[in-house]
């Protein structure tokens, strides 16, 4: 794979210096949705699908980028002295954003090719940001730590791209060093790994093929609703983040939250935080039926209280549950994209076949289903 991608890249960009090759995975969040910007716990893992990159030094201050996933865009060029967001540059804006944070002295040539379905909610943008950060850090011997790159990537996403995402995606992709899931406290950035032993079950990712773009979704609206709720709760509790509270704390705060919509948003956030800790313990104890039930509860909360699922996600989740999954939920920001399901190994092929047929009939969309393989994080190959 390494030699093939170098040859392909060199045919397009004609590297003048010896290139390096890197890989940055996508991620799926097992549970803990919309908590990373609320100071809560999340439980993601990195995947064996992701973004490959080939990069080589230049002697000027130009950066030349080419993506095999968007060949119609051709080679996108920009100068280090003029790093501005331009809509026509599309995917290359993510490169600009992280480069603006890294501040290399010279430019470079960059070829990327990924196999993460775009718009599926498996963090193709964070994968690209961490890939570029890791490769530029290596190319220029900048000596940034993994955590430095993670924070720069989040800053690029927030300030340059304009998506007010939390740190989870960049953190798990940049910091994972073994094939395991990560329990991450997004408030303190403390984390621990846990081996995911599924025994007689498998996790399947279901891509609804209902694409979504975070910039155009209600992601930022939900974040603002959480800010509004936090402001109200601070009248009663000295807290920095919503996830410092329990459900009992929220129930005792009805008098200061008159807006029922805001209350539902807060109920999802706080209950999801409690579910994530319970899910970690369920995996630790090998209690897969309970882990599956927590997945079901999570989707119900995301559908009813946070309202970020939609027809396609709800349809696919309900079909998996109908045909034998012991747990299923949307994953990612929502509004389309992907879901995950915990299914028995003995019947997983039959379940997948029935879900695909019914989903296509109901939605007129052709889904993609694939088994999760957990991988380690971003690296130079």
89 is catalytic: no
Quick one: pLDDT at residue 351?
97
- State the average pLDDT over residues 365-369: 95
Question: Following DSSP, what letter does each residue of 92-130 receive, concatenated?
Answer: HHHHHHHHHHH--SS-EEEEEEE-SPTTSSS-HHHHHHH
Distance (Å) of CA 154 to CA 158, 159, 347, 371: 6, 8, 40, 28
Catalytic residue among 148, 169, 200, 287: 169
Quick one: pLDDT at residue 179?
86
Name residue 113's beta-bridge partners.
Answer: 52
Tell me how crowded residue 198 is: count the other CB atoms within 10 A of its CB. 15
Q: CA-to-CA distance for 346 and 9, rounded, in angstroms? A: 42
Quick one: pLDDT at residue 21?
95
The encoded tokens of residue 200 equal 């007689």
User: Which of 208, 256, 186, 149 lies closest to 355 in space, CA to CA?
Assistant: 208
Give tens-digit pLDDT for 294-334.
999 999 999 999 999 999 999 999 999 999 999 999 998 88
Q: CA-to-CA distance for 5 and 3, rounded, in angstroms? A: 6
Q: CA-to-CA distance for 196 and 181, rounded, in angstroms? A: 7
Residue 217 pLDDT class (50, 70, 90 cuts): low
Residue 213 pLDDT > 60, yes or no?
no
196-371: CATH class? alpha beta
Quick one: pLDDT at residue 369?
94
The alpha carbons of the chain give a radius of gyration, in whole angstroms, of: 21
Q: What 3 state SS string does 65-102 have?
A: EEECCCHHHCCEEEECCCCCCCHHHCCHHHHHHHHHHH
Q: CA-to-CA distance for 264 and 301, rounded, in angstroms? A: 9
Give tens-digit pLDDT for 101-129.
999 999 999 999 999 877 667 888 999 99
Tell me which CATH code domain 2-193 carries. 3.30.230.10
DSSP run (H or E) holding 206: strand 201-207
Domain boundaries, the chain: 2-193, 196-371
DSSP E strand stretches across 141-200: 181-185, 191-194
């Amino acid at each position: 794979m390494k030699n093939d991608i170098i040859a392909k890249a060199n045919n397009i960009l004609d590297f003048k210096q010896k290139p390096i090759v890197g890989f940055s995975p996508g991620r799926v969040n097992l549970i803990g949705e919309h908590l990373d910007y609320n100071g809560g716990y999340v439980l993601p893992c990195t995947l064996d699908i992701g973004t490959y990159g080939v990069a080589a030094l230049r002697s000027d201050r130009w950066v030349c980028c080419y993506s095999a996933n968007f060949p119609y865009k051709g080679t996108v060029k920009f100068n280090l002295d003029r790093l501005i967001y331009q809509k026509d540059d599309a995917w290359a804006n993510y490169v600009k954003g992280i480069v603006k944070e890294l501040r290399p002295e010279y430019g470079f040539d960059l070829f990327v090719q990924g196999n993460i379905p775009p718009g599926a909610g498996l963090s193709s943008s964070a994968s690209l940001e961490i890939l570029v950060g890791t490769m530029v850090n290596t190319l220029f011997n900048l000596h940034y730590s993994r955590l430095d790159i993670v924070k720069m990537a989040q800053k690029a996403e927030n300030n340059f791209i304009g998506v007010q995402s939390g740190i989870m995606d960049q953190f798990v992709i940049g910091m994972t060093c073994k094939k395991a899931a990560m329990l991450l406290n997004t408030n303190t950035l403390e984390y621990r790994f846990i081996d995911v032993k599924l025994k007689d079950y498998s996790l399947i990712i279901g891509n609804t093929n209902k694409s979504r773009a975070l910039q155009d979704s209600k992601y930022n609206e939900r974040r603002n609703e959480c800010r509004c709720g936090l402001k109200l709760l601070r009248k009663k509790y000295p807290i920095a983040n919503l996830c410092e509270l329990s459900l009992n704390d929220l129930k005792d705060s009805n008098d200061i939250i008159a807006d029922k919509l805001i209350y539902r948003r807060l109920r999802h956030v706080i209950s999801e935080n409690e579910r994530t800790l319970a899910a970690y313990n369920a995996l630790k104890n090998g209690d897969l039926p309970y882990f599956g039930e927590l997945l079901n509860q999570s989707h119900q909360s995301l559908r009813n209280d946070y309202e970020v699922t939609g027809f396609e996600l709800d349809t696919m989740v309900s079909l998996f549950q109908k045909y034998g999954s012991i747990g299923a939920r949307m994953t990612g920001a929502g509004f389309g994209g992907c879901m995950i399901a915990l299914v028995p190994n003995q019947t997983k092929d039959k379940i997948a076949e029935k879900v695909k047929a019914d989903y296509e009939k109901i939605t007129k969309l052709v889904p993609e289903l694939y088994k999760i393989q957990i991988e380690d994080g971003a690296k130079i190959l």
